[in-house]
Amino acid sequence: MKCPYCSEDIMAGATICKHCKSDLKAPLPWKNGAKRKDGKISYNEVVDKVGLLPNVNKRDNMIQGIAVAVCAGIGGLIGLFVGGWPEGAGLGVVAGLIIGGFLSGLVLMVIGMFRH
């Protein structure tokens, strides 16, 4: 089972999330306009609902980091074959970092809009 607030794995039937300490018995903030006891909506809740903000979810950050590293590696290989060592490889890595960061951020933004 996943926590509706932070998306971390929790035990089925849990009443409080062990990761974000959210009360799981309370209605979700995006349903019927309810808020948590302290009257605030967490950053992750807003991000998952709106989808146009950077996310602090560990799983999403790991996915994005791996995707950026893979794109940098592919860019470095392409640059190595096209432009040689070290100029072509270096430019390929930089281009891969930029493209990988942009595309993975775009994909996570779209996923965040449809997550809940």
Task: Say if residue 55 is in the same domain as residue 103.
Answer: yes
Task: Say if residue 31 is in the same domain as residue 74.
Answer: no
Q: Quick one: what percent of the chain has pLDDT higher than 70?
A: 69
Task: Say if residue 35 is in the same domain as residue 57.
Answer: no
Q: Which residues pair with 16 in a beta bridge?
A: 23
Give dist(CA 38, CA 55) in Å, integer.
Answer: 22
DSSP 8-state symbol, 12: T
Task: Give 3-state DSSP helix, strand, coil % of the chain, rounded to 5.
Answer: 55, 5, 40
Task: Say if residue 36 is in the same domain as residue 85.
Answer: no
Count of structural domains within the chain = 2
Task: Say if residue 54 is in the same domain as residue 107.
Answer: yes
Give dist(CA 15, CA 116) in Å, integer.
Answer: 20
Instruction: Give the structural domain span for 98.
Output: 49-114
pLDDT band at 3, cuts 50/70/90? confident
Task: Say if residue 109 is in the same domain as residue 78.
Answer: yes
pLDDT per residue as tens digits for the range 75-102: 999 999 998 888 899 999 999 999 998 8
- pTM of the predicted model over 0.85: no
CA angle 62, 2, 41 (to 5 degrees): 85
